[in-house]
Chain A
Amino acid sequence: MAVNESLRVLRTIHYDEHHYSLFVSAGTIGPKTKPGHFAMIQAGEGFRPYLRRAFSIADVTKVAGVPALEFVVKIVGVGTAALARFAEGTPLPVLGPLGVPFPIDDLLPSDRVALVAGGIGLAPLVLLARTLAARGIAADLFYGGRNENDVLKRADFERFLGPHRCRYATDDGSLGRRGRVTELFTNALAGGVRYRRVYACGPVAMFRALAELLAEAKLEGSFAMESEMACGFGVCLGCVVPMVDGRFATICKEGPCVSPAQIDWARL
């Protein structure tokens, strides 16, 4: 079950003016966290930002020996901007771990899986890569962004998965192949690789294209979805996506990790 607790800011690493990693003390959330879980963070006191913000728990790690949660953040508004400015030691209310994590318990050591990330969608895949590596499950990373600065934490992925298993694509060709990450992935499929499951996180356009590819190739997927959320635990009903059965499902409680086959992409 999720915990509502106050965690201290341990460190903030700024990658460029738009992206940063926020490390907070792990509290009791750390040991409960599985790949794909998220947390709701209140960015300071006062009413701007008013609501907590939802972030994937990117990694459960250590900062100078202190157990830590890492959040990889792109500045897109008042909440993500406010969160970038907290000094070390600042207490932040954090609710987590929340949601349905990536399904990984059924994987066998002989399985091979793919991780597909677009832009800031790398966030939930870092802990996934670490966990898969620890279990000895081979995973290929396909990671795309607009440019080199959008493709974050490459050293971590390459350390966990092996450099030869990490492939990049950028819109401007500044890193890896010029083009879309889904093209990278298509090429790998064309090469005859068979994946037990494809884990993905990225913008809706990427999800949409990938869902189509997976359906055609009859491959199983698990997508970590994103939406504006007020509560994070299934009561505001603000974060829903349309499902093929006609319902609206909450991303916070029935997700964030969902099968793309269950989502009604035409209505999204």
Chain B
Amino acid sequence: MTVDLSTAFGRLRLKNPIGTASGTFGYGLEFAHYLDLAALGAISVKGLSFRPCHGNPPPRICETDAGMLNAIGLQNVGVDAFLAEKLPELARLGATVIANVWGDTEDDYVAVVERIGSDRRVAAIEVNVSCPNVVKGGMIFGNNPEALAALVKRIRAATGHPLVVKLSPNVTDIVACAHAAVDAGADALSLINTLVGLAIDLERREPKIGFTTGGLSGPAIRPVALRMVWEVRKAIPKIPIFGMGGIETVEHVVEFLIAGANAVQIGTANFRDPSLASRLVGELAAWCEDHGVARVSDLVDTLRTRPRPDHEFA
């Protein structure tokens, strides 16, 4: 049996549903030595700002149980350097590139998107409204459906590229944020970004991270991510979704597809094993074959849930 891994993702047609997550994959080129970039469904590059950004002072990371905290602070080379120095090589290597963008203000986001313009070497734009590690921008939009809608409307007007909005899990109602983004013109959603956490150095009674709090990623967050993907899928049946959060194995990939993601992004696991993402493409085909699944898209949104009972008081 030949398994069909191709994935319709709104206007995009991905080779397979395995992508890599922004902030965990550099500009892609760092991984070219460990895997074939062209073999991946899509790669989402480090969040790009209009001007280069130095990021936060160290310490920036620490390990936690089944995961890690980070507060990198969106250090990046800036959109111009990305377009001039990274994108040509990514295009030459055949990568499907998603440009992740961020800013402090609406104008900043629009400026980055306008710089990218109609460059066809960029397959889609992913809007980061969910970074918990910068003082301005980022989560100010991600936490507030009205601010989010206003931002997405402006970006929508500024680009013809497919527009993916990456949502923050640090909200009470992820579905309200998803609706706000989609109603404002998002073509697709990515969820989830990191969960805000705190780790403490007991002897010093100081946070282990210089920024005090950091974003939690890794296997520890996978159940939360699955729940949010599932909630948004139920609420918005047609919207293309990138699911992510703690994916380490092919079984984890399949979980996200069943919960309702059309495709996934491998994140922190890229740090542990730089070859993992491409290996998962092969393992996904094998898993589908073993389970009699002819098209990987047949797995999407197939969670069988039971009706939830009302409270029964004794």
Question: Contact residues of A with B, CB < 8 Å?
Answer: 1-2, 4, 42, 47-52, 78-79, 93, 95, 227-231, 233-242, 246-248, 267-268
Contact among A1, A79, A231, A246 for B270, CB-based, below 8 A: A231
Contact A248 B271 (CB under 8 A): no
Contact A230 B271 (CB under 8 A): yes
Contact B272 A42 (CB under 8 A): yes
Q: How many chain B residues touch A (Cβ–Cβ < 8 Å)?
A: 34
Q: Tell me how far the C-beta of B213 lies from the nearest C-beta in chain A, rounded to whole angstroms.
A: 15
> Knowing that A48-B66, A246-B54 are A-B contacts, what are 13 other residue pairs whose CB atoms are under 8 Å apart, sorted by A's residue number?
A1-B33, A4-B34, A42-B272, A47-B67, A50-B68, A228-B63, A234-B26, A236-B61, A238-B60, A239-B61, A248-B57, A248-B58, A268-B58
Closest to A230 in B: B271
Contact B58 A47 (CB under 8 A): no
In the complex, which residues of chain A have a beta carbon less than 8 angstroms from the beta carbon of B219?
A: 47, 50
Alpha-carbon distance between A101 and B55 when the two chains are bound, in angstroms: 26
Q: Tell me how far the C-beta of B43 lies from the nearest C-beta in chain A, rounded to whole angstroms.
A: 12
Contact among A4, A49, A238, A267 for B72, CB-based, below 8 A: A238
Alpha-carbon distance between A49 and B63 when the two chains are bound, in angstroms: 8
Contact A238 B272 (CB under 8 A): no
Contact B68 A51 (CB under 8 A): yes
Is B10 an interface position by the 8 A CB rule?
no
Q: Tell me how far the C-beta of A97 lies from the nearest C-beta in chain B, rounded to whole angstroms.
A: 13
Chain B stretch 138-192: residues in CB contact (< 8 A) with chain A: none
Question: Contact residues of B with A, CB < 8 Å?
Answer: 24-26, 30-31, 33-34, 46, 54-55, 57-68, 70, 72, 75, 218-219, 268, 270-275
In the complex, which residues of chain A have a beta carbon less than 8 angstroms from the beta carbon of B268?
A: 230
Contact B218 A50 (CB under 8 A): yes
Q: Tell me how far the C-beta of A42 lies from the nearest C-beta in chain B, rounded to whole angstroms.
A: 7
Closest to A241 in B: B58
For this complex, 9 residue pairs linking A to B, each with C-beta atoms less than 8 Å apart, are: A4-B274, A50-B64, A50-B68, A79-B63, A231-B271, A235-B24, A239-B58, A240-B55, A240-B75
In the complex, which residues of chain B have a beta carbon less than 8 angstroms from the beta carbon of A93?
A: 273
In the complex, which residues of chain A have a beta carbon less than 8 angstroms from the beta carbon of B270?
A: 231, 235
Contact A235 B273 (CB under 8 A): no
Contact A233 B75 (CB under 8 A): no
Knowing A236-B70, A240-B58, say if A51 contacts B274 (CB, 8 Å).
Answer: no
Closest to A243 in B: B54
